[in-house]
Amino acid sequence: MTGVSTTGVVELRQLTKTFPTADGVFAAVDHIDLVTTPGEFLTLLGPSGCGKTTTLRMVAGFERPTSGSITLDGADMVRLTPDKRPMSMVFQSYALFPHLSVYENVAYGLRLRRTPAAEVKEQVEAALVSMDLVSLADRAPNQLSGGQQQRVALARAMVMRPKVLLFDEPLSNLDAKLRVQMRAEIRRLQKRLGITALYVTHDQDEAMSLSDRIVVMNKGRIEQIGTPADIYRRPASVFVADFIGQANFLDAPVHHIDGDTAEVTVFGNRRERIAVSDAARGAGDKVLMVRPESVRLSPSDARVVGGDVGRVVSVVFYGSTAEYEVETDAGSIVVVENDPMPSTMHEEGSFVRVTFDPERGWLLDAVS
């Protein structure tokens, strides 16, 4: 199954899907534009109802767009039924045939395509070896664990040598430890085969660990497209910042904006230069985003909240991290300390000095 040569460029233009409602129509997907690059792992991420699964189903052919276009390497896909599209899909439920063995489940699509028997045998055996399923070839799906069933579903999809692999929350039925193992396996295989992957999830950890790029969706629209680092460190909006991981949003008066940076007052008593998002360069209220792990706490002799002095409201020890809630003049913030020593942790009710590296701050439009 090595050496698959595909381009796999999926292009969505003004793609829209509406459903009738009592009040008119509801746009599940609202005029989105998206282009994959060959062989990339692209994840659609967002809360329930944001349109990510509907988008994937339109690409797969299970939903017909209300308007807009879907092309694969320049060829129109909208008019093709799912079985005519050079794509394979891995479902959340695995969708294995209970009456067929592992071998026959993997071979099913090839037989449906009327592939010569010798080729079926060669390709299925290669797929079973690739997914470490050789010893399970004669078993029925109900004799397999969840992780084994997921590997069968992956083998069945990959044996078809598609130009695009589609994943609809394929790991949501697995326990936490197995999810980590399987996402590493999915990424390893996808990179080795060089197949473009379009992956849907609401799990931020999955998106961050798997993806070359992430598409964050909200209310049927695309909020931001970027690498995991861009999405996390430089979110385009308050929604993206709040959805991806934890974020503190601080009141920070802006004195002036100069190109890519702004001078703001932080914690009431000092000015800092902070990088500015595109949306925050115009008029309107601004908010300063700082990730919890970027904030530092140190003991303070003060006994009142003000300026850069805060009061520890709560402490939660997780072993590898400690999470503090701290009351400050700029609002209540969350602070995460990595590898904490219990003997030096700050106690509830103690007063602390709150600081952060200005390079890790990010100014956002408050209503974005």
Task: Give 73-111 pLDDT, tens digit per residue.
Answer: 999 999 999 989 999 988 887 788 999 999 999 999 899
Alpha-helix runs per DSSP H in the chain: 52-60, 102-112, 117-130, 146-158, 176-193, 204-210, 228-233, 238-243
Which residues in 39-62 are b (16+ Cβ under 10 Å) and which e? bbbbbbbbeeebbbbbbbbbbbbe
Which tens digits make up the pLDDT trace of 287-300?
A: 999 999 999 999 99
Beta strand residue intervals within 161-317, DSSP E: 164-168, 196-201, 213-218, 221-226, 248-250, 254-258, 261-266, 270-275, 286-290, 295-299, 309-317
Q: How far apart are CA 203 and CA 208, in angstroms?
A: 9
User: What's the whole-number average pLDDT of the chain?
Assistant: 91
Which tens digits make up the pLDDT trace of 52-76?
A: 999 999 999 999 999 999 999 999 9
Picking from 54, 14, 8, the residue whose alpha carbon sits closest to that of residue 34 is 14
Q: How far apart are CA 49 and CA 133, in angstroms?
A: 36
pTM equals 0.89
CA angle 132, 138, 144 (to 5 degrees): 65
Q: How far apart are CA 193 and CA 4, in angstroms?
A: 6
172 pLDDT above the threshold of 50: yes
Picking from 243, 156, 190, the residue whose alpha carbon sits closest to that of residue 42 is 190
1 pLDDT above the threshold of 50: no
Strands, sheet with 254-258, edge to edge from the N-terminal-most edge strand? 254-258, 261-266, 270-275
DSSP 22: T
5 pLDDT above the threshold of 70: no
Averaged over 331-357, what is the pLDDT? 94
Averaged over 295-317, what is the pLDDT? 94
Least confident of 180-184, 242-246, 329-333: 180-184
CB 366 within 8 A of CB 285: yes
pLDDT confidence band for 220 (50 / 70 / 90) = very high
Largest CA distance in the chain: 81
What distance lies between CA 310 and its chain's CA centroid? 34
315 pLDDT above the threshold of 80: yes
206 pLDDT above the threshold of 60: yes
314 pLDDT above the threshold of 90: yes
Task: Give the pLDDT score at 283.
Answer: 77
User: Cα-flanking dihedrals φ and ψ of residue 154, to 5°?
Assistant: -65, -45
pLDDT confidence band for 6 (50 / 70 / 90) = low
Domains and CATH numbers, the chain: 10-238 (3.40.50.300), 248-365 (2.40.50.140)
pLDDT confidence band for 347 (50 / 70 / 90) = very high
Q: How far apart are CA 286 and CA 280, in angstroms?
A: 6
Task: Give the pLDDT score at 367.
Answer: 84
Q: How far apart are CA 156 and CA 154, in angstroms?
A: 5
Averaged over 6-31, what is the pLDDT? 92
Task: Give the pLDDT score at 288.
Answer: 94
Task: Give the pLDDT score at 2.
Answer: 44
Picking from 158, 157, 166, 135, the residue whose alpha carbon sits closest to that of residue 148 is 135
Which tens digits make up the pLDDT trace of 120-167?
A: 999 999 889 888 899 999 999 999 988 888 889 888 988 888 999 999
The string of DSSP codes covering 73-136 is TTEE-TTS-GGGSSEEEE-TT----TTS-HHHHHHHHHHHTT--HHHHHHHHHHHHHHTT-GGG
